[in-house]
Structure 1
Amino acid sequence: MAAPPWTGLTFTSKLNSAPPASLAPSSQKLPAPFVVAITGASRNIGAATAKAFAQAGATGLILTATSKSAALLETKKEVEAAATSPDLKVTVLAADIAEPSSAKLIADTISSSYGRLDLLINNAAIVSTHESAFNKFDAINIDQIQKTMEVNFIGKFATIKTLLPLLLKTEGGAKTIVNVTSAMSHFASMGAIGYNISELATNRLTEAVAEAYGAEGVLAHAVHPGIVATMPPPIGMAPQARAWAVDDVGLCGAFLVWLVKERREWLSGRYLSANWDVEELEGKKDAIVNGDQLKMRMVV
């Protein structure tokens, strides 16, 4: 079944399920120095994205997860092995994004150990913690709404609020925020409703940041990372739903390196998909800007 046009999944006619050769992170080049903070980096999309930025020449990576687990330490090891800059410094932190105070720990570490921040990738998110998340309203545990908003929206908000001063004071920095979102943000009743709504809020949060801080040079993007078979699978997700998860875990990282290696003001405040062909996307620049496309709007 084809996705409806309003999901944006087919905004470009050519779609990528894995990074094309032209977007291989090792063939792209970030400016130096370039310091990136990535939340939810112990595994899956976050870990692969950290590796992509190491391959593209990042000089600093701050990687967080809810605990300093073996998976997070393994990510650190893999990222250091993938580095193309001899100056790369990698720090891992236990920082539970559901606790707003964790953002201060991240900010303090960046200030003391790096002295700059170019890019925040707000990747940490949860789909569910109980199988009821995928039920109809009357059978959803209320904490499946509360917890997703706590992590996916309030956690992202708190992290942005706390790290913004670092982005703003970094002279010559990218001053960019990427909120990893989901195409599920466009669906009202399919999937886990708490997750969908929290990601819809993330899209609007991204637009709000761009509007509030664009004059100070801040860029903000909401990026769907593709449909990836993350591990472990979301609690309560039907096994057949995994058949949709055909995209490469490294797709998002490669797309993000392309997105931020130069300032793309024309895409700030907008929803993007890592599946989109970037050449075709660039060809739509005038239509996107003139039509103020790729934002959340009511159809009237």
Structure 2
Amino acid sequence: MDPAGPFGFPPATGANFTQTIHQKVPPALKPSVQPLPTPFVVAITGASGGPGRAAAEVFAQAGATGLVLTARSIAGLEETKRICERASSSTKTKNQNPLKATLVVGSVGNEADAQKLATAVRDEHDGRLNMLINNAGVVSTDESAWGPFDKIRPDQFEVPMQTNYVGRFLTMQALLPALMASPGKGTVVNVTSICSHLTSPGHGAPGYNISALASNRLTEMAAEVYAVDGGTGPVFYSVHPGAVATHMPVGASKELFEAMCTDEADLCGAVCLWLGRNRPGWLNGRYISATWDMAELQARKDEIVGAIS
């Protein structure tokens, strides 16, 4: 395989950090072999489609008893709920708790909407929350987002930063009390992008890339802040979902988008499920790609931990 990784990504991006690169869920990460403890409640932002919807279905298949799903589209959320209820009913036995899915319409970049999630957890799920997947994000809303700095509209920095960075902070701030009050103290995944490591022209929209990098650092800082609990507090991970064909960003190259986006939407959800079940402390605060092979990643634990110790 090209040592520069797909599409010329340099090694520092981690594009090929493991020898095995996955584009779909490998057998070891299938929901059927990753059953969740009961009860288990997970909140997912951006759940009206794409990786967010796919993650919700993965957790339903794995036996989650509660889903708190948020997005700006009620129609999309209702479809996600139907998909998850079907997935749950097909995998649960008569003695298992039925799935309860709560829908919250709102924007993650809005403080009041973030608080709606906390209210839903408190009122609909008895205050229990085991995991938060901060998936909602935006790349661009104008073609200028992909241009040189002197051509980019200022809002093409402001909009992605508000959603992809400030929005993740607001959601974490609203839900951390419930996470820390629940058994296991909770797991947070901030869905990021390989673009957070890219600076070359043609490799992403600058405003988006920088917002993803800010999200990574938010994850790192949260891990440091809550590490004072001696490893008994919540854990935090940044996860690149792979290149998934969802809505093509405004101004992006259609040809490049279609050529690159070949990873399946549920791959990220399966890796999030693995993180939520195992909560590996040595990965706390770190960037992970859903395309990596998790067994190979674990085999490199000593190398990874030792590199910065």
TM range, normalised to the smaller chain?
over 0.9
2:132 is equivalent to residue 110 of structure 1: no
The 1-side partners of 2:73 and 2:254 are apart by 28
TM-score where L is the length of structure 2: 0.91
Task: Name the SS of the counterpart of 2:278 in structure 1.
Answer: coil
2:166 corresponds, among 136, 154, 167, to: 154
Gaps of 5+ in 1: 294-300
The 2-side partners of 1:99 and 1:67 are apart by 15
Report how many aligned residue pairs link the two structures.
290
2:253 corresponds, among 238, 245, 265, to: 238
The 2-side partners of 1:157 and 1:263 are apart by 20
Task: Name the SS of the counterpart of 2:270 in structure 1.
Answer: helix
2:288 is equivalent to residue 269 of structure 1: no
**Partner deviation per Cα, 1:149-189 (whole Å, 9 max, x = no partner):** 0111000011111111111111x235111000000000114
Structure 1 residue 140 displacement after superposition:
0.7
**Partner deviation per Cα, 1:239-287 (whole Å, 9 max, x = no partner):** 1221111111111011111121122111100000000001101101111
1:3-18 to structure 2, matched below 5 A, reads: 3-18=9-24
Task: Name the SS of the counterpart of 2:308 in structure 1.
Answer: coil
Partner of 2:213: 200
Task: Name the SS of the counterpart of 1:58 in structure 2.
Answer: coil
Partner of 2:106: 95
Task: Name the SS of the counterpart of 1:90 in structure 2.
Answer: strand
2:73 corresponds, among 54, 67, 81, to: 67
TM-score where L is the length of structure 1: 0.94
Partner of 1:296: none
CA 1:135 to 1:2, structure 2 compared with 1: closer, same or farther past 3 Å?
closer
1:143-292 to structure 2, matched below 5 A, reads: 143-170=155-182, 172-189=183-200, 190-216=203-229, 217-230=233-246, 232-242=247-257, 243-292=259-308
Aligned amino acid, residue 236 of structure 1: G
Partner of 1:297: none
Structure 1 residue 214 displacement after superposition:
2.1
Q: Which runs of 4+ in 1 moved over 3 A?
A: none
The 2-side partners of 1:14 and 1:275 are apart by 8
Structure 1 residue 87 displacement after superposition:
2.5
Partner of 1:42: 48
